[in-house]
């Protein structure tokens, strides 16, 4: 089987709207390595877009899925419940940075988690408005597209979107936007566009994913918490990408000492199996009436079994600490590279959520440089992802379980790609 043959078949059989980055096709994978159908080996610095913090096919996770497969694969939790969901909710409730008693509801995708967080916030407050941030990404459904603050390629041609969603600037050192500017923009919304008594929620990614790995300052988080408390607004932390050890903590909000009312999670929650969740203050989570939340595949038993194993692996292999250590190594290497490559305008990191922003000598976003670096790295066997409002950011999302020698080899390939 050849990659070129599969590429021709894909183009004929699937729509162009499903964008595909790589021109090779996976045949098997192990930890941080992917082999394609022609036997070529790649180091995976994409991890399924931050889904594989525990790596491809971790033995503990594979064993948990296999064991559940021998019991049952589906009953629909809302029809015939099962104990593993209850236990997983208890574990998440105990671990999440939520003030007071917490409850957790399970869904299937990150977008579903965000949609349901908005539903829960509206049910709790009796309000409809939602404030989000420019550059934020919250999903591809109509409500989550309304929340997403990036037009291309996500929103173009799909409107109109649900109303009463407002965007404010996210802090940016290169963009000259401070936390005070962001908070002032919210207060301006309250004066010009929506009464704060009509705002149900403010949603924020602690580190913006598609927006360019922009790290939210603690000052912003503290200011948002104060605004939400003042006006009775639900604070939603979208930790779909930042959660489960990626930033050096189980949840990124732990870096700020600020507790949101609701946290959305997905991606690495179940080690590659489809599962998402909303965890929040019990009184907020209980606002929707019975039947108001759920889904046919919500809390799929195979995914829930995997999620239990993920929590075990994170604890036993100390993946939060490893995320911090690997991130420090990568940032040190990038800072050294920056001295020789002035096109690296910024290095942003929280744990192992690391990115570089590329700009031209004139200070303009340099998406072409990103594409060249990605291509050269892939030719040498390293898969890299881009992001950012202008496509000029390279993000690094290796599995946290990557062996040290392989990590060092990947950094060598990255050096070569930058130099080339």
The number of folded domains in the chain is 2
**Residue pLDDT, tens place only, 299-334:** 999 999 999 999 999 999 999 999 999 999 999 999
Model confidence at 420, pLDDT cuts 50, 70, 90, reads: confident
Task: Decide: 333 and 415 in contact? Cβ < 8 Å.
Answer: yes
Domain CATH number, residue 402: 3.90.1150.10
- Residue 164: give the domain boundaries: 62-316
Kindly state whether residues 122 and 170 are assigned to the same domain. Answer: yes
Q: Are residues 348 and 289 in the same domain?
A: no
Give the CATH number for residue 281: 3.40.640.10
The mean pLDDT of 104-119, rounded to a whole number, is 98
Tell me the per-residue pLDDT of 52-85, one tens digit each, with 9 for 90 and over: 999 999 999 999 999 999 999 999 999 999 999 9
Co-location of 263 and 278 in the same domain: yes
Q: Please check whether residues 70 and 130 belong to one and the same domain.
A: yes
268 and 408 housed in the same domain: no
Q: Which two tokens stand for residue 188?
A: 């301006």
Mean pLDDT of 221-229: 98
- Are 311 and 178 members of one domain? yes
Instruction: Please check whether residues 131 and 274 belong to one and the same domain.
Output: yes
- On whether both 344 and 218 belong to a single domain, the answer is no
- The tokens for 342 are 């002035």
User: For residue 349, what are the contacts with CB-CB under 8 A and spacing of at least 6?
Assistant: 213, 215, 327, 330, 331, 355
Q: Among 259, 288, 316, which residue terminates a domain?
A: 316
Q: Are 407 and 284 within one domain?
A: no
**Same domain? 195 vs 342:** no
Q: Over the stretch 212-222, which tens digit does the pLDDT of each residue have?
A: 999 999 999 99
What value does the mean pLDDT of the chain take?
Answer: 97
Domain boundary at 301, 316, 331, which? 316
Residue 314 per-residue DSSP state: H
Look up the pTM and report it: 0.96
Mark which of 284, 316, 348 sits at the end of a domain.
316
Are residue 20 and residue 113 in the same domain, yes or no?
Answer: no
Pick left, alpha or beta for residue 258 (phi over 0 → left; psi -120 to 50 → alpha; otherwise beta): beta
Does one domain contain both 234 and 165? yes
Q: Output the CA torsion 239→240→244→245 (10° steps).
A: -70
């Amino acid at each position: 089987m050849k990659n070129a043959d599969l590429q021709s078949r894909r183009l004929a059989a699937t729509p162009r709207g499903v964008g595909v980055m790589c021109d090779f096709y996976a045949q098997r994978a192990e930890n941080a390595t992917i082999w394609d159908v022609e036997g070529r080996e790649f180091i995976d610095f994409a991890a399924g877009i931050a889904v594989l913090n525990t790596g491809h096919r971790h033995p503990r996770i594979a064993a948990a899925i296999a064991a559940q497969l021998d019991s049952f694969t589906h009953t629909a939790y809302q029809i015939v419940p099962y104990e593993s969901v209850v236990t997983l909710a208890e574990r998440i409730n105990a671990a999440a940075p939520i003030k007071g008693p917490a409850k957790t509801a399970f869904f299937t995708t990150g977008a579903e988690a965000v949609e349901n967080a908005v539903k829960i916030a509206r049910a709790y407050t009796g309000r409809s408005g939602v404030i989000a941030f420019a550059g934020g990404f919250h999903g591809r459904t109509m409500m989550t597209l309304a929340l997403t603050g990036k037009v291309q390629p996500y929103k173009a041609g799909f409107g109109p979107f649900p109303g009463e969603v407002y965007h404010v600037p996210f802090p940016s050192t290169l963009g000259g936007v401070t936390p005070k500017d962001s908070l002032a923009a919210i207060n301006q919304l309250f004066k010009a566009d929506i009464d704060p008594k009509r705002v149900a929620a403010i949603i924020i990614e602690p580190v913006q994913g598609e927006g360019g790995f922009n790290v939210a300052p603690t000052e912003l988080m503290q200011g948002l918490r104060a605004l939400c408390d003042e006006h009775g607004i639900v604070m939603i932390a979208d930790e779909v990408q930042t959660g489960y050890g990626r930033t050096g903590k189980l949840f990124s909000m732990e870096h700020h000492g600020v507790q949101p009312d609701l946290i959305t999670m997905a991606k690495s929650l179940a080690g590659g199996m489809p599962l998402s969740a909303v965890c929040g203050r019990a009184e907020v989570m209980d606002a929707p009436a019975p039947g108001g939340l759920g889904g046919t595949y919500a809390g799929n038993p195979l995914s829930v079994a995997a999620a239990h194993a993920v929590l075990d692996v994170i604890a036993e292999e100390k993946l939060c600490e490893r995320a911090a250590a690997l991130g420090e190594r990568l940032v040190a290497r990038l800072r050294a590279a920056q001295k020789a490559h002035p096109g690296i305008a910024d290095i942003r990191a929280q744990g192992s959520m690391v990115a570089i922003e590329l700009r031209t000598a004139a200070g303009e976003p340099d998406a072409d440089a990103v594409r060249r670096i990605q291509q050269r790295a892939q030719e040498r066997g390293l898969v890299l992802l881009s992001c950012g409002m202008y496509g000029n950011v390279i993000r690094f999302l290796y599995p946290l379980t990557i062996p040290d020698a392989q990590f060092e080899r990947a950094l060598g390939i990255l050096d070569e790609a930058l130099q080339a």
